[in-house]
Amino acid sequence: MASGIFAVLDDIAALMDDVAMASKLATKKTAGILGDDLAVNAEKATGFLESREIPVLWAITKGSFVNKLIIVPVILALNAFLPIATKILLIIGGIYLAYEGVEKIIHYLFHREKKAEEVIAENNLDNRDAEKKKVRSAIITDFILSLEIIIIALSTVLEESFVTQILTVSVVAILATIGVYGIVALIVRMDDAGYKLIKKSGEKGFLNSVGNLLVKALPIVIKGLGIVGTIALIFVSGGIFIHQIDYFHHLLPEIPSIIKEIASSLIVGLLAFFIIEGAKKLFKTSKIEKEIP
C-alpha cells in the first residue's frame, strides 16, 4: 500500500518536473509577446482619474483572467479536434490588432493635439461610459494577445502528454496575467510613490530627488508606452499574417521579414479601418434617417 502511494507521488513529482521545464521553455518563447502585451495594456490602463486607476486596472485584470479561462480549454479542444480553427482565430485577431494600430496612427497624424486646459478638464470628468469603453477595448486586446500567447505556449508541448499540455498552458496563462498586470500596476502608481517619497523626505535629500524623478517620469513613461504599444500592435499583427498565411510568408522572399510584417499590418489595418469607419457612418446615417419623421 505504502509503495503504491510513493509510486503515485513519484509520478506526480516527475509530471511537475516536466511541467516546470515545459513552462520555462514556453515562457521563453512567448517573452516577445508578453513584452508587447505589457506595452499595449500599460498604455490602455493609463489616463484615468487617480481614484479610478486601481479599480480600472483590477477590472481589466479580472477580464484577462476570464479571457484565459475561456481560451485555454477552447484552444486545447480545437488543437485536438480542429487545428485549423486556431489559425483562423489568430488571423481574425491579427486583423483587429492591425486595425487598432492603424487607428492610433491615423488619430495621431490627422487629429489636432488637445490643449493643456482641455486635457485637464477632460481628466477631471468622472466619465464612466468612456471608462467602460476603454476597459472593454483593453480586455478585447488582451484576449487576442492571450490567444497568441496560449497557442505559442501549446506549440512547445505538442509532443507531451495531454495532462502536461493542460498544466503548462495554464501555468503560462497565470504567469502572463500576474506578471503583466503586476508591472502595469507599478507603472500607473509611480506618481503616488513619488509623492510619498517627497513627503517622507521633507522635500530634501536623495529621497526627495527620487520622488521628483518618479513624478516627472510618469507622463514620459505613459507617452512612451503609447508609442511602444502602437508599434507592438503593428508588429504582433504583422507577425501573425506573415507566419500564419502561407501566401504572405512566401511573397517577395528577398524582402526582410520585418519589412513584410510592418507592410502587411499597415495594409490590412488600413483596409479594416476604412471598412469599419464606412460601416459606422452608414449605420449612423441610417439611424438619423429613421429618427427623422
> Does residue 93 sit within a domain?
yes
Query: What pLDDT does residue 21 have?
Result: 65
Q: What is the pLDDT of residue 141?
A: 81
- 169 neighbors 154 (Cβ within 8 angstroms): yes
Contact indicator for 59, 181 with CB cutoff of 8 Å: no
pLDDT confidence bin for 6, thresholds 50/70/90:
very low
Maximum mean pLDDT: which of 120-129, 201-210, 219-228, 270-279:
270-279
Residue 136 confidence (pLDDT) above 70: yes
Of 10-24, 166-180, 237-251, the range with the lowest mean pLDDT is 10-24
Does 7 fall in a domain? no
How many independent structural domains does the chain possess?
1
Within-domain flag for 137: yes
In a domain, 215, yes or no: yes
Task: Tell me what pLDDT residue 187 has.
Answer: 79
User: Residue 244 — very low, low, confident or very high, per pLDDT cuts 50/70/90?
Assistant: confident
Supply the range of the domain harboring residue 87: 16-291
Predicted confidence at residue 269, as pLDDT, reads 92
Q: Is residue 24 part of a domain?
A: yes
**Model confidence band, residue 37 (pLDDT cutoffs 50, 70, 90):** low
Backbone phi and psi for residue 82, each to the nearest 5 degrees, phi listed first: -150, 75
| Position 233 confidence tier, pLDDT thresholds 50, 70, 90 | confident
Question: Most confidently modeled of 154-168, 179-193, 223-237, 261-275?
Answer: 261-275
Specify whether the CB–CB gap between 175 and 153 falls below 8 A.
Answer: no
Query: Three-state SS string across the chain, please?
Result: CHHHHHHHHHHHHHHHHHHHHHHHHHHHHCHHHHHHHHHHHHHHCCCCCHHHHHHHHHHHHHHHHHHHHHHHHHHHHHHHHCHHHHHHHHHHHHHHHHHHHHHHHHHHHHCCCCCHHHHHHHHCCCCHHHHHHHHHHHHHHHHHHHHHHHHHHHHCCCCCCHHHHHHHHHHHHHHHHHHHHHHHHHHHCHHHHHHHHHHHHCCCHHHHHHHHHHHHHHHHHHHHHHHHHHHHHHHHHHHHHHHHCHHHHHCCCCCCHHHHHHHHHHHHHHHHHHHHHHHHHHHHHHHHHHHCC
The pLDDT tens digits for 149-187 are: 888 778 777 777 778 788 888 888 888 888 888 888 777
Cβ density class 128-141: b for 16+ within 10 Å, e for less: eeebeebbeebbbb
In a domain, 168, yes or no: yes
Predicted local distance difference test score (pLDDT) of residue 263: 92
**pLDDT digits 0-9 by tens, 89-113:** 878 888 888 898 898 889 888 865 5
In whole angstroms, give the CA distance from residue 264 to residue 229. Answer: 18
Residue 174 placed within a domain: yes
C-alpha Rg value of the chain to the nearest Å: 23
- The number of C-alpha atoms within 13 Å of 139 and in the hemisphere containing its C-beta is 20
pTM of the prediction? 0.67
| Residue 111 is assigned to a structural domain of this protein | yes
